[in-house]
Chain A
Amino acid sequence: MIEVRDLVKQYGDHTAVDHLSFTIETGQIYGFLGPNGAGKSTTMNIMTGYLSPTSGEVIINGHSILEEPELAKQNIGYLPELPPLYMDMTVKEYLTFAAQLKHIPKAEQEAAIAEVVELARLKEVYHRLVANLSKGYKQRVGVAQAILGFPEVIILDEPTVGLDPSQIIETRELIHKLSDGHTVIISSHILSEIQAICDHVLIIHKGQLVANGTPEELERQLADTSMELVFKSDDPNAIRALLRSFPEVERIRVNDPVNGEISAKAKLTQGADIREQMFRACAAKDVPLLMMHASTMSLEDIFLKLTQTNERRPRKRRAAASAPADADTAEQTPDAADAPAEKEAEQ
């Protein structure tokens, strides 16, 4: 079991991880999901003891990574973003070195290495130099190193990057095999991958945990319930009043009439369904309802919503504010102001 408590990591003024807290239970596959630069790798580097947090703590099977690093690291196998391979060694030498580093007893080393070689399908390159391997094989050597000795917690940072489709499927199968008895944490910015393998999803954005749950839970809890409607009417105010009369309606957007039709969008409280009431209310007010469509979000939409809203809204606002100023000399200022913000988000 891993507990991450109130983790903060600052690089100068830039906050890479911002008060992150979560608990990871044994025997499940966890997925860290977030756009590039969200703080996934930094969090994993802190959890494995490579970086030290500015504040907060990580406890792995009861051992703090800061206070008892050797005991805590004994329980972890880690594949960083870039596999940490020594190019001047053969696969055999490299895995033997990894086994010695992990204090696997000499008598068991050979069997342990044979097992991971089998799992990661490295047999045909076992005696070759790491430098001469293809990217896919290098990645697999990295995975083999991480799972060597089968530590209780296996942390893989973007394990499928750079692999071809069949290798991606193989890696997924491997991760599935590992999941009995081990906790596996993988990170990715690819949603379908997380959805395919993980029992549990943690969505991170700008160093903060924005969602935490199984994929189904997230869909149920976070999906926006909204309705798109088209009325036959010329009076937007009447439509607004009609929509506002429902307690379930949280936000509305009513467009101006076009050819005697008014389109509107209403955001409802989570999971509400007011299609029937809407029909009756329109009938009572004698407003013909031309179209009604209830939409729900997929996990992908949720991910986009959680990770993009914070960025896009201020930009839109800024763009709107600068529009009248465009005629003046201040044409370049909004761009100049945008640029550093974008860079920061990508870091």
Chain B
Amino acid sequence: MTAIYKRELRSYFSSMIAYIFIAFVLAFIGIFFMIYNLSSGYPRFSYSLSALMLIFVFAVPILTMKSMAEDRKNKTDQMLLTAPVTVTSIVLGKFLAMLTVFVIPLVISCLCPLIIATFGTAQIGSDYASIFSFICMGAMLVAIGMFVSSTTENQIISAVVTMAIMLVMYLWDSLVSLIPQTAMPSMIGMLVIVVLVALVIYSMSKNAMAAMIFAFVGMAGVLVLYFVNASAYIGLLPSILSAFSISHIVSNFTIYNVFDFGGLFFYLSVAVLFIFLTVQSVQKRRWS
């Protein structure tokens, strides 16, 4: 794992990607810091970071696009996969290398609260907590980007798809607010979710019977509940979906000064899920 980590990290710095990423993120952190803290004299650096997620929507796909796709395209994955190392350690090595590059601009931004502190009262604790929350968010975004990269050998497709996914995550709250609060749309939404889960079951197990049974039982359950007690569906889908809101976690840290443990747990569990999915995606390619 350390061999792959070192190689990947070096390749990020020899191919300019790391410099571009770091410069891009630092430039925007600098602009926000300048506007909110230095010009307007607002003492909380964490507030300046509240718009950072939008920057990551564009920057992280650049960082992750080549992670798995390039190896596959250049056939260097043959060297890694025939070496006596596990797929998990290959994936983890790459993930940690990207996370290291991701963390660098945030570590540099740790200077900003200190600059504020030299001129007045800085809220150092909440500022560093916000920076830490963005590192955890980075773990999640990098893992998602890496998974997308592992499904293709084209880096452009990888970047565009990752960007689209992250844009949806960024706009999640506005998208969820478009769903009507009445019972009928929620019921239809639940049916769609049941069908999607059934399709996942089918694609993973290739067992049409199990997927069909799941789909029918699930749909019957949803429909029976709708006819027995339709009011249970009122606002159900929006409230389920808004649990996945990321801007909610971001504003907890950056605006409301709340250390959101649940949010960090969400970031890290999504990261673990996508690292696991990346391993599966690499393994699956060997079988097809």
Residues of A bordering B, CB below 8 Å: 11, 45, 48-52, 69-71, 73-74, 76, 78, 80, 82, 84-89, 93, 97-98, 100-103, 145
Contact = CB atoms under 8 A, between A and B. Distances in A.
Given A49-B82, A98-B83, A101-B79, 9 more contacts: A49-B81, A70-B86, A71-B84, A86-B11, A86-B76, A89-B11, A97-B3, A98-B79, A102-B84
Contact of B82 (A73, A88, A100): A73
Contacts of A78: 78, 82
A70 B79 contact: no
A80 B3 contact: no
B19 to A, nearest CB: 14
A70 B85 contact: yes
Interface string B32-76: 000000000000000000000000000000000000000000111
Contact of B7 (A45, A80, A86, A102): A86
Interface in B1-41: 2-4, 6-7, 10-11, 14-15
A251 B79 CA distance: 51
Given A51-B286, A70-B84, A88-B11, A100 B3 contact: yes
Contacts of A50: 78, 81-82, 286
A145 B15 contact: no
Given A70-B85, A103-B84, A145 B3 contact: no
B85 A101 contact: yes
Nearest to B75: A82
Contacts of A51: 286
Which of B6, B76, B83, B84 neighbours the largest number of chain A CB atoms within 10 Å of its CB? Answer: B83
Closest 3 CB pairs of A and B: A100-B3, A84-B79, A101-B83
A100 B2 contact: yes
B286 to A, nearest CB: 5
11 contacts: A45-B78, A51-B286, A70-B86, A76-B82, A84-B80, A86-B7, A86-B76, A87-B74, A98-B79, A101-B84, A101-B85
Which of B11, B80, B286 neighbours the largest number of chain A CB atoms within 10 Å of its CB? Answer: B286
B3 A101 contact: yes
A73 B75 contact: no
Given A50-B286, A70-B84, A88 B15 contact: yes
Contact of A73 (B7, B10, B78, B83): B83
A84 B78 contact: yes
Contact of B80 (A11, A69, A82, A101): A101
B84 A80 contact: no
A52 B78 CA distance: 13
A319 B4 CA distance: 56
B261 interface: no
B227 interface: no
Nearest to B14: A88
A95 B76 CA distance: 14
Given A70-B85, A70-B86, A97 B75 contact: no
A69 B90 CA distance: 14
Contacts of B80: 84, 101
Which of B6, B78, B85, B287 neighbours the largest number of chain A CB atoms within 10 Å of its CB? Answer: B78
A85 B76 contact: yes
B68 to A, nearest CB: 14
A80 B78 contact: yes
A48 B81 CA distance: 9
A116 to B, nearest CB: 15
B9 to A, nearest CB: 12
Contacts of B78: 45, 50, 78, 80, 82, 84
